[in-house]
Structure 1
Amino acid sequence: MKISTSELLDELKNRTEQHLRFAEMLSVKPEDDLNFRISEDSWSALECLEHLNRYGNFYIPEIKRNINSAGKSSRTYFKPGILGNYFAKSMLPKEKLNTMKTLKQMNPMYSHLDKTVVHTFIKQQEKLLELLEEAQHVDLEKTKTGISISKLIKLRLGDTFRFVIYHNARHMAQIQKILNL
């Protein structure tokens, strides 16, 4: 699979803008609604967002650092890596969301959360949009980023963006289910 770099970045920007608008809509909902959980062992909307914020706390600085140290590129196509493509595709929301185990430090279950979680998520989406803009001039294949689960594995920047943004999409779908939207 080979995709135009500008098409990929446009798709990711569009998704991120949708996530941003959705979060802005959530910011006006009552906190009780955002803390509601369907069952005792499921996450609330705020827990979903806090989970994404924790990943954003790792990936946003990681992406920024690697964009800043990358050289300029004139490559017009992006070819996903095997591992990066697998990770990204596994995050895309499906009709029936399959549950996945999360790392302990990324699991916000039973945290006491308020609307600051939503505002943090909004700020992270704004930052992601800035990074996607900056990435237009960077080689999305040659520029590599670390991943949150291992310092030994590096993914192509394009795959990292896809993973993070598809992961966000997955949990946006989960929040819609929780809040019955």
Structure 2
Amino acid sequence: MNPTAFLTELDRAVRQLVATVQTELEPLAPAQLNQQPAPNAWSALECLEHLNRYSRYYNPRFAQALARPDTSTNGDVRYSWAGRKFLDMMAPTNTRKVKTFNYMNPGGSQLGREVVAEFCAHQQQLLALLAQARRADLNRKAVPVEFLRLLKMRLGETFELQVLHEQRHVQQALRAVGGAPASVAAASVPDGAAA
């Protein structure tokens, strides 16, 4: 996919996530946002806190990658083998559960509205980073993977992975409070990119 269309789709998906969280989750009472739909299942706020923990790691790494000058031209967005595997695993359409690392697991927490505000702030940062990325080589291996920092992923595939991960858990948060609207389920990032 060409980089401009790719980044436009990611931007649209992030804006949809923010709109969904602001209209569907933000108005709810803290008790409802903290309610677990089943034993050992995350509440809506736990889902968002999980995403905040990832954003605290990845947003600065994106900024660092974008701060380095590019020496190559920006061709169509390409994927590594590992990148495709991670994207397939995180796709919101993939119903298989993925175990998270303990330090990224907010399970059992009593959280407040500040989690929603932090999530929205991280998304605004991500939108600014996506805008910056329009002048970057999205195929450069520049972003260390959070759980295996020796492994670097391409900038474009890591942006996409972050957005897919967020879509997956925002859908989970919506289910935790009583159902995911079709607009979130239908919102996807680059057609066929994660297939």
TM score, norm. by length of structure 2: 0.87
Q: 1:120/1:72 Cα in 2 relative to 1: closer, same or farther (>3 Å)?
A: farther
Q: Work out the CA distance in 1 between the residues paired with 2:139 and 2:75.
A: 11
Q: Which whole-Å CA distance do the structure 2 matches of 1:72 and 1:178 have between them?
A: 46
Distance, in Å, in 1 between the alignment partners of 2:177 and 2:71 is 43
Secondary structure in structure 2 of the residue aligned to 1:77: coil
Deviation readout 1:155-176 (Å, 9 max, x if unpaired):
0000110111000010111112
What percent of counterpart residues are identical?
31
Please name the residue that 2:30 is paired with: 31
The residue aligned with 1:111 is: 109
Contact residue 141 and residue 152 of structure 2 kept, 8 A: no
Q: Does residue 44 of structure 1 match 2:43?
A: yes
1:71-92 Cα offsets, whole Å, 9 max, x none, are 2654241111111121122111
Paired letter, 2:76: Y
Deviation of the 1:70 alpha carbon: 3.2
Question: 102-111 vs 26-35, which deviates more?
Answer: 26-35
Of 6, 28, 39, the match for 2:4:
6
Letter paired with 2:19: R
User: Distance in 1 between the 2:113 and 2:72 partners?
Assistant: 40
| Preserved contact between residue 70 and residue 143 of structure 1 (Cα < 8 Å) | no
Query: Which runs of structure 2 are paired with 1:124-143 in the superposition (5 Å)?
Result: 124-143=122-141
State the match for 2:95 in structure 1: 97
TM-score (norm 1): 0.94
Equivalent-residue separation in structure 2 for 1:122 and 1:19 (angstroms): 9
Partner amino acid for 2:33? L
Cα deviation 1:93-117 (Å, max 9, x = unaligned): 12x7221100000000111200000
Query: How many corresponding residue pairs?
Result: 178
Aligned-pair CA distance for 1:179: 1.6
The answer on 1:172 being equivalent to 2:170 is yes
**3-state DSSP class of the match of 1:144?**
strand
Conservation of the 8 A alpha-carbon contact between 2:50 and 2:106: yes
Partner of 2:74: 75
Q: Which runs of 5+ in 2 are unaligned?
A: 180-195
CA RMSD of aligned residues (A): 1.3
| Counterpart code for 2:66 | I
Q: How does 1:152-171 map to 2 (within 5 A)?
A: 152-171=150-169
Q: Secondary structure at the match of 2:96?
A: coil
Question: Which portions of structure 1, spanning 4 or more consecutive aligned residues, are displaced by more than 6 angstroms?
Answer: none
